[in-house]
Structure 1
């Protein structure tokens, strides 16, 4: 029996894009005993599954030769399951692998050749070259910036020397070129040794040396410098994208006020344990996920959920780390350690999601794998055929071939999709719209039908008093007597009555000799009067209801409301109607989906009368009295009709239907469910956010199309102008690095997304 695999995580500095990840993967996967490599560009981490005898020092050394700094992350290694059929349960992106397809994961070893995912087999995904040094901190302190500035200074010095001593101008530019080219060439050689011969470093090295050979040393030095500038700009842009989601972690305060032994003391928030009780003062950020055990205050949840209006919370309410306490002190019992709080898990989820490739991204990877060698062949033909067959000048056509070599680098094309996907996932997460991967983000924009659960999804999930009717007594008195009978009860209908009395500032008198009558209602003595509250049928057994009262109750029942009748001292006093009401934004959200051409259907296990009443109010097609398997069957029927179906539910009762849908969206089932169930999640439970997800998906795919057009369009223009002799090496490198920067900046526009 084989020994169990061990999983070890590393922090990798200098990684800016998916191309970096492919090169690191290619280097790491060649170490004996390394079975699987998972890389998170966003987190800057690498996770490897390996045998106990694997040489991790050799792994670090080999990756370092590619220009990246590798440091182990302590305390995170553990046994991992063998085989590729079982996804690693503690990758560098966290533990949230539930409910989504790992077939699209970017780790090359997770896929067979047919899938076209082996990006280290000479594919273009490994084309970007990056310099040493961390990408954290100010950009001008990075090794990449130092090399760029040094190369620029050498170019300026060569220019000055050439003006002062024209006889050594050529050698001066060669020296300036070598300042930047030597590190590039070294990485090119190491990449080739690791199975990536077609890298931008290799193309740059060939182009620069070729330019020197044909006497264009000044252009060679300038091209190397411009390449480094482009790479630096890309690194800055990538750092901004990384910071957009990582900045969430800064929302959690570093310290907390821990209650212990009758007093409070300040401790590090990272050291809080589940069960600890903390004090949160007015205006403070809450340092941990927890449950309020005393106090009531408005909570600003915008940092976590995007909800702009503070939510008033009291005892037993859940609070999230990073949210802001309002105007009163709260005592909170911690429910999650620092590494497991909502913000930490959102960050992990997004980091993991960015490693799950969208279908468009996988197509671009496959296209690039054949495109790059094709460009090399075309460049060689341009350089050789005119001089050999048509008497062209060797210098002229070699020069054009070298320019085409640089124009053809698919760096901008390769990064066009992951840059937009990463920005889309990040901006969604900052607004409480969590999507587990590029495939999900792309798929949501294609849905043509959305099936919603009712309770807790389209509705609030708890009944509220909708009508108070006085048949023989004033409405306030009806509510006062009813609240007296329900005091102390935890039944949802009792809570609705008590909440209504509290909202109306109604004083509730004490009740004596209270008795619950199974299946009928409750009775007690209130202010010396015998009071009964129960179902209309049970009330009719005690006192005959008038035709007027019966008609009114029937009308309320037809609206899907539950009615309780109050009898005071042998007389019908009134009735209270309750219903689980739609969320305030449900109608708006469903209309937004309808406007987008998406069919909406309610799937509920509730009784047909109640469901249809809510359905009429919201204008949604209704399927009621369903079992979980019925919901799954209906989702399958809709898909068989050619519809792309999203199922929106709480992630628990609707698990079969969520799994059967093209996209499962968890909403309204609590933080754990929202983060770990289905393909996507809406953190703050707004129906309008489902429409916002669709909108964000469509905008992201539009951004990707723009990026691909920019990348290929610029190359096509410069390819033609180079062949006919209008442009040369300088514009060629700008066509590559310039296009890469342009598509990255265009993708970053998604970080400013605002739902329409």
Structure 2
């Protein structure tokens, strides 16, 4: 599949119609056109000239790439190579790396097509302005000049402003396709046929204004998203053999060293090897305050270096960096459609033909059965057609969703699609992992109980030296402090949720919680020490051989300062129940839960137990699961909404539906508040768009509905829901 950017899409219904037409082309069966993102995905064999013709019928066009995209390679058609699509996304490919020449080329074409789009809008405004001037002149002259001259002016103004709608409407009528353009074309032809020149012209002009404002509103939401996606660095100053060379970011490899000067962006994830500076990570984490960084500190690609010159050793290729993952997730998020949007689409599909039936009944029943005036009721039927245009209804959701995703991403909260944003706003129960989520995830050994010192430390070191688990790091620090060298392990076997077993020569050692030690009965003296450590709120890790316990580690993990305040804020946002799910023992779980204000705590849970608990909670409400570890991934996947900490494991981030790019929960209440606002906005928009139409339709009962009032009510509803949706992007300054 090849991906193109489409500019000039004016309405969701039009985008759907264009998609259907493109799918009828050779090899076009799999084509998708997203109204929200303005992206067209095509099989590379689809004839692009035919695609351009189809788009041109709706004043839309294929844009050149905004970044350095390339032809798709060996399988690309000449047409595809000539048009340089925005991005080539093969199956399984995440992002197209950006190059130096691609950047220059992209900016040139991006500016060119932004200019073309602006020119197109200006041209449409000019046409509507000329039409309005001719219409005003005709109104002034009407009655004082020959009627044919006035009628000619009206028809000229109507033709100028409504030719596009008329062309599409006639084409749809010939194909028996009923959409907005079909409704408007029938209404215009009908009004002209009964001699309503003034109102036919006014309808054509107002509908043109409506389409213009609709398109501008959607472009505003899209530009907000595109601005968000433009933060990626394009070039880097690579340091090699003492010489600095400007290279494309895509050319950097792991281990390369780059020089980052004040005001420049760090090209990819890495660590500082020289220099000190304050770094603004707002593009990644949403945190506005800069952080002081020095040698050894890790940095994100896309972060802004504020003052000092630093050298950074690259730890990840750009395509695997945090920023690249963020941009990929945000781009993908635009493509998903919420249940509300899908419902509106299905509703609109049947709504338009239904309106045509209602209009026919209004036009025919009173004259045929009630001896009504044919001209009057035909006029009312035409007004019903105009009222029936579902523009405002179709726009009720996509602009609000796109605005919500863009604003969330600006604050370092990545929502992987509109459906997940909608679900985030419906949560009433939250389940939390403990370590790394409610606590800092930086445990330390607070106490040891040693029964056989040399082997206790050497066996623990043998098992934990290769592990990256936070508890393993804490234990290894204690082993290093003891000065006892770890044994060499012949093989280490992990036991999920319990610990690990290692073979060291002829001896086997166990390290983990009590449930791991099943091959002998734990002595009473040891049990007493275990209970004492638990009572102190410590996590207990046992080390044993085949016959006895060698010692105990009592490990503490500091609670995050913000955890208690976040839990309070979540309750204010409507979260009625909070639960903690942890593999730690129950006493430690209860202690942490009381400290932060969690309603219920469940300890000693294996990964499968967490999944079962989440499913049990889901039967009682809309549940979201928050975690950061690999053992949280199954529970994140089984929850209605999985929320991952951005500095957690890759598996948790990939599994989750929402990612908090900070290393804390501070942004979660704000994210839920925004999601609830988006949901409220969509419901309000739907109510307004349907309510205004119902009110206008009721005016047909006494015969008071006019064509100009019908189009004004439709246009007013469209502009209103667009403006209401765009307010989501507005942020109050603190």
Q: How does the TM-score come out when normalised to structure 1?
A: 0.74
Residue 8 of structure 1 is matched in structure 2 by 2
Residue 39 of structure 2 is matched in structure 1 by 45
* 1:21 maps onto 2:27 in alignment: no
Contact 2:286 2:413 in 1 (8 A): no
Residue 4 of structure 1 is matched in structure 2 by none
* 1:397 maps onto 2:391 in alignment: no
Aligned equivalent of 2:682, options 694, 704, 719: 704
Residue 411 of structure 2 is matched in structure 1 by 431
- How many Å separate the matches in 1 of 2:674 and 2:614? 24
Contact 2:300 2:322 in 1 (8 A): yes
SS in 2 for 1:35: coil
Instruction: Give the C-alpha shift of residue 515 in structure 1.
Output: 4.2
Aligned equivalent of 2:203, options 203, 216, 223: 223
Aligned equivalent of 1:75, options 70, 79, 83: 70
- How many Å separate the matches in 2 of 1:216 and 1:134? 44
- How many Å separate the matches in 1 of 2:481 and 2:408? 54
Aligned equivalent of 2:154, options 165, 168, 173: 173
Aligned equivalent of 1:152, options 129, 141, 151: 129
**Superposition map of 1:352-363 within 5 A:** 352-363=332-343
Q: C-alpha offsets along residues 309-363 of structure 1, whole Å, 9 cap, x if unaligned? A: 3233444544233322244332223345556654444343233223322222222
Instruction: Give the C-alpha shift of residue 408 in structure 1.
Output: 0.9
Contact 1:248 1:343 in 2 (8 A): no
Q: C-alpha offsets along residues 184-216 of structure 1, whole Å, 9 cap, x if unaligned? A: 2222344556x6722222222221222222222
Contact 1:65 1:190 in 2 (8 A): no
* CA RMSD, 1 decimal: 4.0
| Residues 1:76 and 1:210: Cα distance change in structure 2 (over 3 Å) | same
* 1:331 maps onto 2:326 in alignment: no
Residue correspondences, number: 631
Contact 2:64 2:113 in 1 (8 A): no
Q: How does the TM-score come out when normalised to structure 2?
A: 0.77
Q: C-alpha offsets along residues 236-262 of structure 1, whole Å, 9 cap, x if unaligned? A: 211111111211233344443221231
Aligned equivalent of 1:368, options 348, 352, 362: 348
Q: C-alpha offsets along residues 614-651 of structure 1, whole Å, 9 cap, x if unaligned? A: 223213222222221111121122224x2322111126
| Residues 1:139 and 1:236: Cα distance change in structure 2 (over 3 Å) | farther
Residue 681 of structure 1 is matched in structure 2 by 659
| Residues 1:145 and 1:466: Cα distance change in structure 2 (over 3 Å) | farther
SS in 1 for 2:114: coil
Residue 107 of structure 2 is matched in structure 1 by none
Aligned equivalent of 2:29, options 31, 35, 52: 35
- How many Å separate the matches in 2 of 1:92 and 1:579? 47
- How many Å separate the matches in 1 of 2:53 and 2:481? 79
Aligned equivalent of 2:114, options 134, 137, 141: 137
* 1:288 maps onto 2:268 in alignment: yes
SS in 2 for 1:664: strand
| Residues 1:417 and 1:709: Cα distance change in structure 2 (over 3 Å) | same
SS in 2 for 1:288: coil
- How many Å separate the matches in 2 of 1:512 and 1:210? 91
Contact 2:646 2:653 in 1 (8 A): no
Q: C-alpha offsets along residues 146-196 of structure 1, whole Å, 9 cap, x if unaligned? A: 133213213313433564562111111101111122222222344556x67
- How many Å separate the matches in 1 of 2:330 and 2:613? 31
Aligned equivalent of 2:591, options 613, 616, 632: 613
SS in 1 for 2:358: helix
Residue 491 of structure 2 is matched in structure 1 by none
- How many Å separate the matches in 1 of 2:167 and 2:90? 29
SS in 2 for 1:328: coil
Instruction: Give the C-alpha shift of residue 27 in structure 1.
Output: 1.2
Residue 690 of structure 1 is matched in structure 2 by 668
Residue 581 of structure 2 is matched in structure 1 by 603
Instruction: Give the C-alpha shift of residue 271 in structure 1.
Output: 5.0
- How many Å separate the matches in 1 of 2:91 and 2:199? 43
Aligned equivalent of 2:706, options 728, 734, 744: 728
Residue 632 of structure 1 is matched in structure 2 by 611
Contact 1:361 1:418 in 2 (8 A): yes
**Superposition map of 1:180-579 within 5 A:** 180-191=161-172, 197-269=177-249, 271-336=251-316, 341-463=321-443, 514-516=483-485, 558-561=535-538, 579=556
- How many Å separate the matches in 2 of 1:142 and 1:645? 49
Contact 2:37 2:335 in 1 (8 A): no
Please list every run of 5 or more consecutive structure 2 residues that lacks an aligned counterpart in the other structure: 76-86, 96-109, 448-466, 489-527, 542-552
SS in 1 for 2:427: coil
- How many Å separate the matches in 2 of 1:650 and 1:442? 22
**Superposition map of 1:94-133 within 5 A:** none
- How many Å separate the matches in 1 of 2:384 and 2:13? 21
Structure 1 range deviating more: 619-628 or 602-611: 602-611
Instruction: Give the C-alpha shift of residue 601 in structure 1.
Output: 1.6
Please list every run of 5 or more consecutive structure 1 residues that lacks an aligned counterpart in the other structure: 1-6, 81-88, 98-132, 468-488, 500-510, 520-550, 565-575
Contact 2:583 2:603 in 1 (8 A): yes
Instruction: Give the C-alpha shift of residue 413 in structure 1.
Output: 0.8
Instruction: Give the C-alpha shift of residue 715 in structure 1.
Output: 1.0
